[in-house]
Structure 1
Amino acid sequence: MQNQLEPPFPRGSLILQSKICLHSSPLCKAIPQYRRRTTTMSTAPAHTLNLCGVLSEAKRIVNAHSRHFLALSVIFLLPLSFSLIIFPTLQLSLTRSYVVSTKFFVVDPPDLRQNLTIHLLYSVFVYIFFLGAIATITYSTYHGFYGRPVKFFPAMKSLIFSFFPLVSTTIAAQLILSLVSLTFLLLFLVIIKMGENLGFVIDYDSNYFMTSFVLMGAALAFSLIYFQVNWSLACVVVVAESKWGFEPLWRSSYLVKGMRSVSLSLLLLFGILIGFWVWMNSNDVMHFDAVDGWKSWPFGLQVVIGTSLLTVLLLQNTAANTVLYMYCKALHGELAIEIVEEFAREYVSLPFDDGKIPHVVSVVPA
């Protein structure tokens, strides 16, 4: 196959091969005669293993099944986006109602418990809808990448098998990140105590102490980002490979090798866009009064625009992570085996939409 490519393609390029007949393909020799089928592929431009290639492929899959992803977004991402934008205003109004004005600002203990309960319920709400969106959208993008039928009920059914493995994986990741953060904190405290025991006078208000604190915080931040980059495919591994616990974390660290720059780019791109958009809309919404302001049309327009764009960003982020997972498998030579198995299925692919036509992804070395 590689000898037929003229001119040779650079290392890391993805060739979307078109109109491949398995009867004449070398792959067909490895498939039993009774399982051979002819599959028509779409002609598509070559993509490279970079951020633009991941984003364009994710956009293609979402556009090809727009109504399906719209339904999933309305169920999971829309309530999540709305809560992220509106909760700071709701929290502020609740806090003001609980504060008792005396000589100092004191919060009544029963109200404090009620406030903590509200925050706990909100966290559970966000967590459940976030995992639901991850499971269903990842499942749909994974099957859409292969050109398989993408249907609503199978996607919702996949949530049953993926939810608790996702919970265990997120708990495992948070446990490791907490241990890393605790290690940095203890190390910083040990250094301070050792300095005091050696007779050094430490001025906690000095610029030297603040500089040391900032450097330690920066080191911790870079460490957490490093783990996030390596574990960026963990949720996709849970859904696609039915793994759970710590195993998806190690699997993601292996797959992301050679693609860490793309993973970091995705993390920074969507992290900055989503964070900035939530912060900007939350601040704008907080200027409206919780009673009268929420009835005005500027408030409604602000919430609709903010929630809609945030939903799109979350959808594209989830789909892009799934596509990155497929590209990483192609880079490690694992995707070819799955493609052979996909071609060996006993059906004839008769697509009616170019965006839904399956395509072969192969990494061609120089």
Structure 2
Amino acid sequence: MAPKKHLSDFISEAKLIIKAHLLHFNILSLTFFFPLFLSLFLSSTLSHLFNYFFTNNSSTLLPPSQTTSPTFSLLYSLLSLFFSNCGVITITYSVFHFFHDQPVNLLSTIKSIGTSFLPLLATTIVSQLIFFSISLFYGLLLLLLIHGAKLLHLPLLPYSSPYIIGVFIALPLIVVQTYLEVNWTLVNAIVVVESCWGMEALRRSARLIKGMKGVALSSIFYYGFCAVILTWNIFFLTRGYNVSTESGFPAVLIWEMILLGSYFLSMITVSKIAVTTVLYIYCKTNVEIAEDFGKDYGTLLPSHDGDVSQVV
């Protein structure tokens, strides 16, 4: 049996693959993820420009509006979904083939989007519908408990702070969402590499990740922490400044922080996808070995005289 690996082992393997093909992954990162994070930091300015050119909500171009129009939010969400799915597909496809020393170029990588985009989109919709159904059921159950407690004149919680009550209410959903994310860690890789999607991909991910849930959970917290800290620092350092009105040294400094922050967030995302792909390869290989061993072991049956006979 192969020794059990930890998150650091998968990060090291993914890092070697990315480093060996750095230009390839940089191009994919700058194409699909960099624009998303850049538009995130410039969302206020972009929203105002959108309102100025496509609606009549703004009579002047500057300063940027503090409110985001629903149309802009919807458009941004659709573009984010498109670019993020394309990024996941191309990075997963590249890492999987580079891991097996198979030739990959940008053209073949981009072509993989055509075969995997709709299955990945459908699988994403299915997973979100499952979580939405769970959240809806939890909300209805919570309302039922609240009304029942009011009818019976029972105290709901021993705490009066709205923050503590909010934590108690949100905690079960956070636990459920984390549990689902851990079980569905390998879904994207499965959809891209294998010819399955939807519920089949979700079930297969939950099956393959058994025994490696600790690594999956560590990956979620590690990359989530890195992304949140970096994003918060960029927003904190650029607060009070306006990229469209600043000039001179402040403008250069703001743009430098935004561009570097967007690039590093893009590479963090690439690293996470690469680690997930390597984890998928490891889990798939070990499950297949275990299944083959089980089949071989099942062909060894004891004969009547106590000896072991091979069944062909």
- Which has the higher relative contact order, 1 or 2, with Cα contacts under 8 A spaced 6 or more apart? 1
Q: Which amino acid aligns with 2:235?
A: S
Which residue of 1 is the match for residue 13 of structure 2? 57
Asked if the contact 2:182–2:213 (Cα under 8 Å) also holds between the matched residues in 1, the reply is yes
Which residue of 2 is the match for residue 185 of structure 1? 139
Which residue of 1 is the match for residue 72 of structure 2? 118
The answer as to 2:102 corresponding to 1:148 is yes
Deviation of the 1:212 alpha carbon:
5.0
Deviations 1:165-206 (A, max 9, x none): 110000001001111111221111111111122233669x95
CA distance in 1, matches of 2:164, 2:33: 40
Deviation of the 1:291 alpha carbon:
2.5
Which residue of 1 is the match for residue 125 of structure 2? 171
Question: SS in structure 1 opposite 2:69?
Answer: helix
Asked if the contact 1:86–1:285 (Cα under 8 Å) also holds between the matched residues in 2, the reply is no
Deviations 1:141-185 (A, max 9, x none): 010111111211111000000000110000001001111111221
Asked if the contact 1:326–1:335 (Cα under 8 Å) also holds between the matched residues in 2, the reply is no
Which residue of 1 is the match for residue 62 of structure 2? none
The answer as to 2:27 corresponding to 1:71 is yes
Which residue of 1 is the match for residue 301 of structure 2? none
Which residue of 1 is the match for residue 276 of structure 2? 321
After TM superposition, the score normalised by the length of structure 1 is 0.70
Q: Which runs of 4+ in 1 moved over 4 A?
A: 88-95, 208-213, 334-337
CA distance in 2, matches of 1:121, 1:213: 31
Q: Superposition pairs for residues 73-112 of structure 1, below 5 Å?
A: 73-88=29-44, 90-91=46-47
- Equivalent of 1:216 in 169, 180, 185: 169
CA distance in 2, matches of 1:50, 1:231: 18
Give the 3 Å change call, closer, same or farther, for CA 161–284 of structure 1 in structure 2.
same
Q: What's the C-alpha RMSD, in Å, of the aligned pairs?
A: 2.9
Provide the aligned length of Structure 1 versus Structure 2.
280
Give the 3 Å change call, closer, same or farther, for CA 89–201 of structure 1 in structure 2.
same
Give the 3 Å change call, closer, same or farther, for CA 287–198 of structure 1 in structure 2.
same
CA distance in 1, matches of 2:20, 2:286: 25
Q: Which ranges of structure 1 fall in alignment gaps of 5 or more residues?
A: 1-10, 14-47, 100-111, 338-366
Deviations 1:210-236 (A, max 9, x none): 645422311111111000111111011
After TM superposition, the score normalised by the length of structure 2 is 0.81
Question: SS in structure 1 opposite 2:127?
Answer: helix
Which residue of 1 is the match for residue 306 of structure 2? none
Which residue of 2 is the match for residue 35 of structure 1? none
CA distance in 1, matches of 2:276, 2:191: 13
CA distance in 2, matches of 1:136, 1:335: 30
Q: Which amino acid aligns with 2:114?
A: I
The answer as to 2:255 corresponding to 1:300 is yes
Give the 3 Å change call, closer, same or farther, for CA 336–66 of structure 1 in structure 2.
farther
Q: Which amino acid aligns with 1:220?
A: L
The answer as to 2:220 corresponding to 1:267 is yes
Deviations 1:7-37 (A, max 9, x none): xxxx542xxxxxxxxxxxxxxxxxxxxxxxx
CA distance in 2, matches of 1:288, 1:208: 35
Identity %: 32
Deviations 1:218-271 (A, max 9, x none): 111111100011111101100000212221111111111000000000011001
Asked if the contact 2:89–2:113 (Cα under 8 Å) also holds between the matched residues in 1, the reply is yes
The answer as to 2:197 corresponding to 1:244 is yes
Q: Which amino acid aligns with 2:215?
A: V
CA distance in 2, matches of 1:312, 1:318: 10
